[in-house]
Structure 1
């Protein structure tokens, strides 16, 4: 199953260009607001599995698609989760997940125009994003996938000057400028993948490939991240976990490269789709 946010309404993706409005199809049983469904994920999944002969009347135009979980209560992000990215960043391989947060105000849908901070060094980071579907506290790795609603794509856009400012790193601020957390285009449930632990992902800028990796290269896979995070905090339905980026970011290049006005960034993950960001001054 794939679910999307179309004009702020929860929609099941039925074909490549049309979907089913959930509130209308369920006779009001489920609300239109996309994030509300995660608190009733088991009930919703059972209902959706039994849908028959429902007309897919919602047009899935790119300009109508919003963030699939638009108001998560928590957004976690994991750094240095690929060995090659840790190497290019000049860090040793971590012994446990390196976790920071992005702020909800940075969250957007998949097709956006992003204003670059003046005088900054804005970088790209392609990431698989986990959407939590069930409340998780002290979850074992064996049970972790059972707490996942689905997977989507994210860009952890990062303003490196702000990120490095001050006596301690400012990860949360440097990665939370307006528009710095595009996600989408929809959430894909784990059963849709042959192997949800091994997905290709990458990005290009103006048609030139910048990143190309596989999630099977994670240092800490999705089950480990959910188990680790839930041992410390309670994960809530609709929460997002950005799982880290492969090598190929601008900061790791020689010379370093930053996003500039006029650039188009296309981000993709196998079996999910793509994001498109354009940048202005």
Structure 2
């Protein structure tokens, strides 16, 4: 059993909006999707308790943690942050569900669709680490600021884990659904420089 979250960062240039293209860079063939809930921080959080963590959350939105698997797994050492931080590799939106006492962070369903085929389905109550714990844990070491977004982790069903593996191709459409929110939809564009 994993005792602590495995953390990485995504650079600001990776963030794109609903409807913007996911760009597959030259040389990337193992482009993968990861449907997740994005947790938007609403007020500074430094060393907050699990019990107080929800007071620092502004809201929740669909997020696609796009990853170039060859940089994450086929290199020594693996380059997880780089594999997940390329331009356009963090689609978010289209809207945020505002946090409040009536919104249960353990009650979201997350689904990922590629070209109208359901690839992933899970619930946030199945996460290895609940959302309030993630906020608390990260805030022990990093001051979370308004606008920061935490990606929660993804359900089973990513392309890399399929037999045989399945990766995104130019023209594919990816739809991430989080219960209570409109879907996040982005299309993969042709390889740059091809």
Whether TM exceeds 0.5 here: the answer is yes
Q: Give the structure 2 partner of residue 130 of structure 1.
A: 39
Residue number in structure 1 paired with 2:163: 254
Higher-Rg structure is 1
Separation (CA, whole Å) in 2 of partners of 1:177 and 1:273: 25
Asked if 2 retains the 8 angstrom alpha-carbon contact of 1:124 and 1:157, the reply is yes
What is the rounded CA distance, in whole Å, between the counterparts of 1:252 and 1:107 in structure 2? Answer: 24
Is 1:96 equivalent to 2:4 in the alignment? yes
- Which shifted more, 113-122 or 265-274? 113-122
Counterpart among 83, 99, 109 of residue 17 in structure 2: 109
Q: CA deviation at 1:196?
A: 2.5
Number of aligned residues: 189
Q: Give the Cα separation in 2 of the matches to 1:155 and 1:193.
A: 25
CA distance in 2, matches of 1:280, 1:184: 19
Which residue number corresponds to residue 17 of structure 1? none
Distance 1:274 1:213 in 2: 15
Q: In the TM superposition, what is the alpha-carbon distance from 1:195 to its structure 2 partner?
A: 2.3
Q: CA RMSD in A?
A: 1.4
**TM-score (normalizing by structure 1):** 0.65
1:33-54: per-residue Cα shift (whole Å, max 9, x none)? Answer: xxxxxxxxxxxxxxxxxxxxxx
**For 1:270 and 1:110, how far apart are their aligned partners in 2?**
16
| Inter-partner Cα distance in structure 2 for 1:193 and 1:250 | 34
Other-structure match for 1:241: 150
TM-score after normalising by structure 2: 0.93
SS at match of 2:154: coil
Q: Residues 247 and 225 from structure 1, CA distance in 2 versus in 1: closer, same or farther, beyond 3 angstroms?
A: same
Kept in 1, the 8 Å contact 2:105–2:131? The answer is: no
Extract unaligned runs of 5+ from structure 1.
1-92
Which one has more relative contact order, counting CA pairs under 8 Å at least 6 apart? 2
